[in-house]
Amino acid sequence: MGGGDSSIIVVEDEEEAIRIIKRVMGERHAYYALEALRALEESAGLVARVNGRSVGSVVAYIARGSGRAPSLGIIYYVAVLPQYRGRGYGKVLVASAEELLESSGSEVFVSTIEASNEASINLFRSLGYATLSLEDAREVIGMRAVLGVLHAACSYEDDIIALKGDDFEAKLVTVDEDSYRDVWWKTCYKPWLKRWYRL
- Could you give the number of structural domains in the chain? 1
Q: Confidence band (pLDDT; 50, 70, 90) for 96? A: very high
Give which of 161, 10, 1 is closest to 98, Cα–Cα.
10
The partner residues of 140 in beta bridges, in order of sequence, read none
In a domain, 17, yes or no: yes
In a domain, 1, yes or no: no
Does residue 49 carry a pLDDT above 60? Answer: yes
In a domain, 198, yes or no: no
What would the pLDDT profile of 133-166 be if each residue is shown by its tens digit? 999 999 999 999 999 999 999 998 889 999 999 9
Q: What is the span of the domain harbouring residue 154? A: 8-193
What would the pLDDT profile of 120-137 be if each residue is shown by its tens digit? 999 999 999 999 999 999
In a domain, 199, yes or no: no
In a domain, 165, yes or no: yes
> What's the pTM?
0.94
In a domain, 173, yes or no: yes
In a domain, 130, yes or no: yes
What CATH number should be reported for the domain holding residue 70?
3.40.630.30
The total of other beta-carbon atoms located within 10 Å of residue 184's CB is 21
